[in-house]
Structure 1
Amino acid sequence: MRAYKYRLYPNQEQRVLIEKHFGCSRHVYNWALSEKEAHYKETGKSLSKRDLQDKLVSSKKTDKPWLKEVNSQSLLASLANLDKAFSNFFKGLAKFPRFKKKYAGWQSYQCPQHVSISFDSGTVSLPKIKGIKAKLHRPFSGKVKTVTIKRSPSGKYFASVLVDDDISDPVPTVIEPENTVGLDVGLNHMLIDSQGNKTDNPRFLKNSLHRLAVEQKKLSRKQKGSTGRAKQKRKVAVVHERIANRRYDFIQKETARLAIKSHVTTFAVEDLNIKGMVKNRKLSRAIQDVSWGTFLSVLDYKCRWNGKNLIRIGRFRPSSKVCNGCGYKAESMPLSVREWECPSCHNLADRDINAAMNIRDFALADSLGHSDCVKSSPVERSVSADSTAKGADISQYGSQKAPTIAASAT
């Protein structure tokens, strides 16, 4: 499955029909959520998706005939989305489903069937809406599964096309220590690798705060409900959109440089608890501006597409506190310390580069099996026992310090 995103240019009549689909899909979602809550309060049991579908069909014939003006499959897709939202809630993956707002930034609806895309004429045809002009800049081959129509806060329309191209990902290459690089993310530098290279943080949001403040101040002076306020609200949305587009373009280029253009076959990263990090009110805006989660997600699928490996180490591994030269573990390492000298080997190390090297060694120790039997053993005993039991040559991935680091980490 691959998704392709295209810009749509609907005319006035098509825009009205799209807006009707937005409103009806949102109404069905909110109506179904209200029905499920009311039914549970009365009976203590959940209302199934099939029961909601029967109620919806009956309601279209009686009190809500205006729902017939839109695609029925899109309304059923709203019920499926609600069912998935409850499923994620009970699995602990998301919060309890909330009602959708009419004036929220993004609006969307789905078309699961009967969608045609013509690259010759540059149009997208949807149920009830035919011949929408589109910028089809990327051709694809395969079966169209689902098309999601979206409207951005700035008023632009997009179509996200999910395609089953029947192409399997290539088999990942063998993990080779000499072709493995550890990656550490930060705020001063967005990316630091174990080879000593650093990528500056562009700080797109911080550099645009003045322009954003000017537009938001103008918005605060507009009368609520007026046409001028609606226009100014779109101008604020355009500033936010430009920041997001620049950030996403930067992430795409950086991940392409790593996963496509470099000769490295394996990348090692940390499994970061980003949701917990943004609760720090002093660093939350800076963390969200650098967008670590998006970077790691994009790097993940690009590595899969190009047959490369992405190894994640545990979030509690002390990558910054451990000296990569001798394995000494410091008691604490505040963020203000950018360089530190190891009291054991007197090695002066850069905090970020040292962390990237440790991430690489931790990942290699995990992937090659050298950290399985060292969780509660002394360092000296774990090195000898692990090397004899596994029959592995520890020096093949950077001398004997990797098992030592894995032992000191636990």
Structure 2
Amino acid sequence: MEVMAYRTELNPTNKQIGLIHQYCGTVRFAYNWYLDAAKAYYAECGLFLTGYAFSKALNNSKRPEWFTEAPSKSVKHAIMCAERAYRRFFKRQSGFPRYKRRNTNRDSFYVICSIHVERHRIRLPKLGWVKLKEKGYVPTRQEPKSATISIVNGRYYVSVLYEAQDPAPIQPTGEPLGMDVGLKNLAVLSDGTVFMNINKTNRLRKLEKRKRRIERMITRRYLANKGKDKVHGWHNYRKAIMEKWRIERRLNNRRVEYMKWVCAQVVRRQPSSLTIEHLNVKGMMKNRHLAPALHKQGLSVFLELVEQVCHKHGIELRRVSAWYPSSRLCHVCHRKNTSLVLGQYEWRCPVCGTLHDRDLNAALNLRDASEYQDL
């Protein structure tokens, strides 16, 4: 069975908006409450506190009225998420889980049962019927498994989960392709197709410039409102924060949509295999000179989308080692150019005299690579 998620924007009433914020706060409180209890329990008894034990003790204790108004499954799901994160810390697989904070641009809660979808609205536990901004997108013939209501940059979304039969993908019959990803261009295919870096377009540059202006405005308004009453003051500061979130949402949406379009163009070629390079993006982000450009390019998101699209359409995805010299090898005579530097985008082979474009040459070498890992 395959799990399909459909995410769309909600159009809630003012009363429903208040309830969404209330339930997000309750879930956040339950998450942090478990972490505090687990720390105290370990300090006192030296044992691991499970989420089930904490949830059982919570149900048998006296709780505030506002706490019991939230969906019980949402609270339990938050506790189990906290337990999963704490267990990883307990096994020394990660650091101690971070506490969830208020006043962030992202918040969510999870619900199951009693979820019904119609063409223009969805019924959610404790919220009732909520209007959808996009009509007819979420399937109505099948009962959904669960839903996640989220707040992102002041907007409200629902992600509905369905179980669906995994259809057998059509076997592609095209030529193998190699794809080199980078900062100068998002991707270059071995057939010569170049997908440019969308961050270099005028539209995104103007948005980035506007974002920097808003950030300076936020700093000035923070200093101007420092020491004032947070109930009656700070209004303009909060307006600037919301404007910054709105610009960030527009930037993120345009980048992700462009990545999806690039993946669709690759699928249209129906390659029998697609070879990419295994990139340690997390390690590359430690370079403070490259980190801002890498963050804007979103290579991790793009590679994840490529993997999903290849799996869906039956394209064999191959990944070569990060140490494979795809840019340094001449794809004609296979001579390795050890003097190639990072900022050099063209080079001539000293043996056969072929003039190479760095990215296209890397894509051709990736296509012809013999040592790779099947995904």
CA distance in 1, matches of 2:82, 2:341: 44
Deviation at 1:25, TM superposition (A): 0.1
Q: Note the C-alpha offset of 1:21.
A: 0.5
Structure 2 distance, partners of 1:190, 1:95, is 33
1:313 to 2:320 alignment: yes
The correspondence for 2:13, drawn from 7, 11, 14, is 11
Q: CA 1:87–1:171 in structure 2 vs 1: closer, same or farther (change >3 Å)?
A: farther
Given that residues 88 and 94 in structure 2 are in contact (C-alpha distance below 8 angstroms), is that contact kept between their aligned partners in structure 1?
A: yes
State the match for 2:76 in structure 1.
Answer: 76
- 1:197-276 matches, within 5 Å, as 197-203=193-199, 206-222=205-221, 223=225, 225=230, 226-259=234-267, 261-276=268-283
1:168, distance to aligned residue in structure 2 (A): 1.0
1:390-405 superposed matches below 5 A: none
CA contact (8 A) 2:185 2:194 kept: yes
What does residue range 135-174 of structure 1 map to in structure 2 within 5 Å?
135=133, 136-140=135-139, 142-153=142-153, 155-165=154-164, 167-171=165-169, 173=171
3-state secondary structure, aligned to 1:303: helix
Corresponding residue SS for 1:5: strand
The one-letter code sitting in structure 2 at the alignment partner of 1:69 is E
- Note the C-alpha offset of 1:139: 3.6
Deviations 1:133-177 (A, max 9, x none): 112341425441221100112x10000111112x21425737x7x
Alignment partner of 2:30: what SS? helix
Residue aligning to 2:85: 85
* Corresponding residue of 1:39: 41
Q: Which has the higher contact order (CA 8 A, sep 6+)?
A: 2
Give the whole-Å Cα distance in 2 for the aligned partners of 1:343 and 1:211. 47
**In the alignment, is residue 352 of structure 1 matched against residue 359 of structure 2?**
yes
Label 1:160 to 1:280 Cα distance change in 2 as closer, same or farther (>3 A): same
Matched residue SS, 1:103: coil
Moved more, 245-254 or 340-349: 340-349
After superposition, the C-alpha distances for 1:50-79 in whole angstroms (9 at most, x for unaligned) are 2111122133xx143321111101000101
CA shift in 2, pair 1:168/1:110, >3 Å: same
Counterpart CA distance in 2 for 1:157 and 1:352 is 41
Q: Provide the C-alpha distance between the structure 1 equivalents of 2:142 and 2:85, rounded to a whole number of angstroms.
A: 29
Would you say the 8 A contact 1:73–1:113 is kept in 2?
no
**Structure 1 residue 317: Cα displacement:** 1.5
**Letter of the structure 2 residue corresponding to residue 49 of structure 1:** G
Unpaired stretches in structure 2, ≥5 consecutive residues = none
Q: Report if the CA contact (8 A) 2:169-2:312 is conserved.
A: no
Deviations 1:12-48 (A, max 9, x none): 1111111110000000000001111222222322111
- Corresponding residue SS for 2:144: strand
Q: Indicate conservation of the 8 Å contact 1:170/1:304, yes or no.
A: no
Name the larger-Rg structure.
1
Q: Rate the CA distance shift 1:333–1:90 in 2: closer, same or farther, 3 A.
A: farther
Matches of 2:90 and 2:194, distance apart in 1: 42
- 1:115-134 superposed Cα distances (whole Å, 9 cap, x missing partner): 11112xx1111111101111
Assess if the C-alpha contact under 8 Å between 2:319 and 2:372 holds in 1: no
Let me know the Cα RMSD of the aligned residues: 2.2
- Counterpart of 2:301 in structure 1 is 294
Separation (CA, whole Å) in 2 of partners of 1:241 and 1:179:
37
User: Is residue 39–residue 46 contact of structure 1 (8 Å, CA) maintained in 2?
Assistant: yes
> Does the CA contact (< 8 Å) of 2:178 and 2:274 recur in 1?
yes
CA distance in 2, matches of 1:2, 1:50: 28
Q: Are 1:183 and 2:179 counterparts?
A: yes
Q: Structure 1 CA distance, aligned partners of 2:352 and 2:285?
A: 35
| Match 1:131 to one of 129, 132, 139 | 129
The one-letter amino acid of 1:132's match is: V
Output the CA distance in 2 between the equivalents of 1:365 and 1:315: 12
Identify the residue that residue 373 of structure 1 maps to in structure 2. none
- After TM superposition, give the deviation of residue 180 of structure 1 in Å: 0.6
State the partner residue of 1:282.
289
1:332–1:58 CA distance, 2 compared to 1 (3 A): farther
Match of 1:26 in 2: 28
Maintained 8 Å contact 2:310/2:317? yes
Q: In percent, how many aligned pairs have the same letter?
A: 29
Show the counterpart of 1:384.
none
Q: Give me the whole-angstrom Cα distance separating, in 1, the residues matched to 2:280 and 2:371.
A: 22
Secondary structure of the 2:60 match is: helix
Q: Does 1:342 align with 2:345?
A: no
TM-score (normalised: structure 2): 0.89
| Distance change >3 Å, CA 266–CA 95, structure 1 → 2 | farther
1:20–1:245: structure 2 CA closer, same or farther, 3 Å change rule? same
**How far, CA to CA, are the matches of 1:237 and 1:48 in structure 2?**
37
Conserved 8 A contact 2:218-2:241: yes
Assess if the C-alpha contact under 8 Å between 2:117 and 2:138 holds in 1: no
Task: Name stretches of at least 5 consecutive residues in structure 1 with no aligned partner.
Answer: 369-410
- TM normalised by structure 1 equals 0.82
